[in-house]
Structure 1
Amino acid sequence: MGELVPASVQHGSPSIPLAGSYTQPLGAPQPPNEPHAISVSLPTWEAVTAVMAGADWAISQLQTSYPRFDVHNRVKELHDAVLARFKHPTQTVCRAFPSSEAAERFISRLKRADPSFPVHTARFHLPSDAAPDMAKWAAFSVVLFHESLEGVAYEFWEWFGDGISSRHAEFCLYQFLFLNSESDQSEYWTVGPESHNLSAMTLSEWIDNATSYKTAIKSRLISSARSADPAIKPIGNGDVFLCATGMAAISVIARTLARTSEDSGAVVYGWPYSGTPHCVQGCGFKRYIMYGHGSKEDLDSFESLLVSGIRFTVLFCEITSNPQLSTPDLHRIRDLANRFGFVVVCDDTIGTSVNVDILPYVDVIITSLTKIFSGAGNVMGGSIMTNPNSKHYSTLTALLSTAYEDLYFPLDAKTIAHNSSDFAARVHKCNETALQIANFLESHPAVKSVNYPTMVPTAPLYERYRRPEGGYGFLLSVIFHEPESAMLFYDKLDVWKGPTVGTNFSISIPYSALAHAKEQDWAASHAVPKHIVRLSIGLEDYRDLSERVSRALREVEMREKMS
């Protein structure tokens, strides 16, 4: 008997050809014609600001979005199917999650925001005769809530990364007519309208081989993170925990550590991805502080706080920061952690473990696999790696063994495993081109400064952690002398434009206008100017990419001569 699986789910997404790719129309998916694209084209500065302001003319053209910033089309279809099954409850909104625990976390967030509105949950599942692995991935939970809470719902979806993935939603949709539902409300108890001899079903290849795909991902992460210091014990397979998104990985470790004491505290050091502080704050710590400048003075202040007797459970940082490309002083942070007993969690998504050797200094490494580890821009993922050399290792292992759920959908794992086969080679290629582009931009008279690990004040720190064969990464950002020049440069730059970084094609965005649309003055006070342009370098040939950059700069030169 055949499989209850659509062809698009069975075979996954094709690899992206390395051919020329240029600016896409507003709202187009990036990669083009990719049903699981993780980026959307925002080709002009005006389009970015209009989308962030919710302007109808811009929003109406969006065919997709970054999966955490909005609800993916496949997930919307699943939500619609649920609401149709439940006879379209009035003013009710639906959100789907891969587990009941994730749904409960969402419910808690909604109730804290406004306990006056009812919130209900339902769990969909195959009948009992289905194969266990098929039943596991066909099951999902939904939360039904009043539309007035939709703003809170979007924040949760963005900051915690717990929502169901687009491929997982597509699979559940294909099974939907066979699914029964149970609920805390009698009207949401339903029986699937179709019957099938599920015991005779053949398991999909990607479900049957899920363990091998995940093992392949873990092996690449372990190999890449291995320290050059022979005294440092390498990470083991059991020390790697895969998550549906990078933010889900951060929220797992943050939630876990927040529960370790009634007086838990968290520090975010440096300027992290904009969602990280929201996620950490929302995970239940009793105390929270952010040192957003990531400076020596910030560490001095933090040390004074610790010496005064105030204790913290964990410090989160990034190597390198986005979009300043700064490097934290991990030696000093490690010393403080050893003296005062807190856990050091470092996100290496931008620096990459190919370039930097941080295992001797941190307790936990977080990585967004969505970015350059995948490169293809067609799948989400995240990872947590616990350091077996850490004095917190046994505690962290015990805590994660109870708190962690393997919710990483097998087809997402298969896609990541396929995409990441040449991870290290792609990083080295992007390193080479990005350094050349950064040097080229820095030499232009219209450019005030370039943020790149070699060009920022923390450059000596980066060298302390850079592997002998490592480079400086794929990401840079540009600050022009004149805001109008930044806007024109972005508009004329002929690359992909939209959210995300680390794609195989270069991609750009006016970072503050997107990530800090409602707090640009605050971001500017932390060295993220309103008119900063971020550029993630892909696999294009340097001559091709430098010519595209040159054409945009020539437009800037003409404007500045005429002004």
Structure 2
Amino acid sequence: MNKKQFYPIPCGQTLPQNNIHAVSTSMPNLQDVIDYEEQTPEILEKITVAYPRFIVHPYLKKLANYLKQKYSVGDEYELILLSSQKAIKVVSNRYFIHNKFEFNEPFGVIKVVKGRQYQKVLKFIQHVGYNLSSRLAEDYLYKVGIINKIHIEELEDKNKAKNIVIETLGSAYKQPVENICLNPSGMNSIYCALKGIKNIQARNGRTILVQLGWLYLDTTNIVEHYFEESKVFHDVTNIDEFEEFLKKDGLKVSAIVTEIPTNPLLQTVDLERLKKLCNSYNIPIIVDSTFATPYNLDLNPFADIYVESLTKFACGNADVLMGAIILNKDSKISHISNEFFKYADEPYIKDIQRMALEIKDYKIRVKKISQNSLKLASYLENAPFIDKVFYCLSPDFKENYEKLMIDDNSLCGIISVTFKKDFQKVYDSLNFAKGPSLGTEFTLLMPYTYLAHYDLITSQNGREFLEKIKLPIELLRISVGTENIEDIIGEFEKINNI
């Protein structure tokens, strides 16, 4: 059955391969993942390009070194490059950084002390997503002669690019283009939306931000670390607990933030009940729709604000970092869009040009992935080596998800599984691309808990917490690609021989 379409990709190779602007990197063995999390010198020599919010891109490192010389910055400092001057204010205000001189550059530059301060600021930028574009850094380095070539790629006309991206999203979400704002990353979209909510609702004494469900790690970090008051409900099935909380503090809640479905267990909250509760207390709902995509689910009756990581399914090729905020025109808060958009940075023009080219296939890509996902989930549910399958039509969440589907072929392109066989042997044996990110046209595997929550795996308290929230340590998240489904299934068939 297997036509040998899949082959091992060496550790540290970019995903997609041979692309300096890739947002993922190959980690073909579980030990590679462990070494990466423990930052061993050997792995850092191999992995130089990875998800840009987690590892500083090599072009940004080169540019920072060039600027240190240009501005005669002492060795006791490091330069951190940001998407704009606006981003400088956000970061500086957080860490009380006040540079003694101006960096005359068309992007953000801050000077921080080496060591602990540098690492703290990098972590903050990881969470809030004000990353400088690798394409901008590339153009700058080429112009000053530090590098001698530009990555060759197809780009949309710069005069048409932004309109193509915005209009495609407007059509998909059924929202006017003025209600859509692009950001330099998906996490920046979330941060800007939450920051806007905080400013608006604080005037009304609404200061508690509620996270519903176990969400992506950086969303959780923003909620817990950068908002003075927050409440987290890990179990999206327990709306009763949430309702009891509202009876006491409902008028203090600024917003609900959730994912539809959640990452990585693909759980869908009962949005109808949630919306009724939120209406009773006039609470807006912010939905991360990255997994669902607007081509799978109609969330307009429920979401006040959408945030989407365009890096995923909208891009499809894992080579652009970008996000979007979409305000629902039917929401009571849509008329105050400036509060949500004023913290946003315009992505670099070449990123928009690349995204404009790729987003044209967004709908076709999602529909093909949905078809493959339905067939793969059916296969995995009956495979003898599978322990449990988590997907959006899992029995516990099927009813909630089905209510939202646009058509019968609207399966989210993510499936998570646990195995009856040795996890490391299974992971190492599969020849799909393996690394962070999702939504790619090529099938992409990720040992989710190892990469997202390694700190919890390595402590007794952490492991107990993972057990409490029912997040398996040995969980494989599958981002289903557009390849021939028989070839995808054929690769998984290899597990029978382990």
TM-score, normalised via structure 1 length:
0.81
The answer to whether the 8 A contact 2:414-2:479 is kept is yes
- Which whole-Å CA distance do the structure 1 matches of 2:100 and 2:208 have between them? 32
The answer to whether the 8 A contact 1:426-1:539 is kept is yes
The amino acid that maps onto 1:506 is T
The answer to whether the 8 A contact 1:122-1:141 is kept is no
Could you say what secondary structure the match of 1:26 adopts? coil
- Which whole-Å CA distance do the structure 2 matches of 1:41 and 1:110 have between them? 34
The amino acid that maps onto 1:555 is N
Q: Does 1:224 align with 2:172?
A: yes
- Counterpart pick for 1:369 among 305, 310, 318: 310
- Which whole-Å CA distance do the structure 2 matches of 1:40 and 1:150 have between them? 24
Q: Cα 1:541–1:328, aligned 2, differ >3 Å: closer, same or farther?
A: same
Q: Displacement of 1:210 after TM fit?
A: 4.2
- Which whole-Å CA distance do the structure 1 matches of 2:169 and 2:119 have between them? 36
The answer to whether the 8 A contact 2:23-2:319 is kept is yes
Could you say what secondary structure the match of 2:108 adopts? strand
For residues 324-473 of structure 1, what are the structure 2 equivalents within 5 Å? 324-395=265-336, 397-400=337-340, 403-473=342-412
- Counterpart pick for 2:160 among 212, 234, 241: 212
Q: Does 1:153 align with 2:121?
A: yes
Q: Does 1:258 align with 2:198?
A: yes
- Which whole-Å CA distance do the structure 1 matches of 2:8 and 2:395 have between them? 29
Give aligned-pair identity as a percent: 25
Q: Cα 1:317–1:500, aligned 2, differ >3 Å: closer, same or farther?
A: same
Q: Displacement of 1:20 after TM fit?
A: 4.1
Q: Cα 1:379–1:513, aligned 2, differ >3 Å: closer, same or farther?
A: same
Q: Displacement of 1:102 after TM fit?
A: 0.4
Q: Greater shift after overlay, 344-353 or 256-265? A: 256-265
For residues 477-488 of structure 1, what are the structure 2 equivalents within 5 Å? 477-482=416-421, 485-488=422-425
The amino acid that maps onto 2:413 is F
Q: Displacement of 1:338 after TM fit?
A: 0.9
Q: Displacement of 1:495 after TM fit?
A: 0.5
The amino acid that maps onto 1:413 is I
Q: What runs of 5+ residues in structure 2 fail to find an aligned partner? A: 146-153, 458-462
- Counterpart pick for 2:37 among 52, 66, 74: 52
- Which whole-Å CA distance do the structure 2 matches of 1:176 and 1:343 have between them? 48
Structure number with the bigger relative contact order (C-alpha 8 A, sep ≥ 6) is 2
Q: Displacement of 1:206 after TM fit?
A: 7.8
- Which whole-Å CA distance do the structure 2 matches of 1:420 and 1:22 have between them? 27
Deviations 1:517-557 (CA, angstroms, capped at 9, x unpaired)? 11232334222211001111111101111111111x1233x
2:490 matched residue in structure 1: 547
Could you say what secondary structure the match of 1:545 adopts? helix
The amino acid that maps onto 1:157 is I
Q: Displacement of 1:123 after TM fit?
A: 2.9
- Counterpart pick for 2:179 among 234, 239, 248: 239
The amino acid that maps onto 2:234 is G
The answer to whether the 8 A contact 1:122-1:143 is kept is no
The amino acid that maps onto 2:300 is L
Q: Displacement of 1:171 after TM fit?
A: 2.5
- Which whole-Å CA distance do the structure 2 matches of 1:456 and 1:352 have between them? 21
- Which whole-Å CA distance do the structure 1 matches of 2:409 and 2:223 have between them? 30
1:190 matched residue in structure 2: none
Q: Does 1:37 align with 2:5?
A: no
Q: Cα 1:555–1:143, aligned 2, differ >3 Å: closer, same or farther?
A: farther
- Which whole-Å CA distance do the structure 1 matches of 2:334 and 2:104 have between them? 37
Q: In the comparison of the two structures, how many residue pairs are matched?
A: 477
RMSD after superposition: 2.1
Q: Cα 1:211–1:519, aligned 2, differ >3 Å: closer, same or farther?
A: farther
- Which whole-Å CA distance do the structure 1 matches of 2:424 and 2:248 have between them? 47
Greater Cα radius of gyration, structure 1 or 2: 1
- Which whole-Å CA distance do the structure 2 matches of 1:416 and 1:145 have between them? 32
The answer to whether the 8 A contact 2:327-2:334 is kept is yes
1:509 matched residue in structure 2: 446
1:7 matched residue in structure 2: none
TM-score, normalised via structure 2 length:
0.91
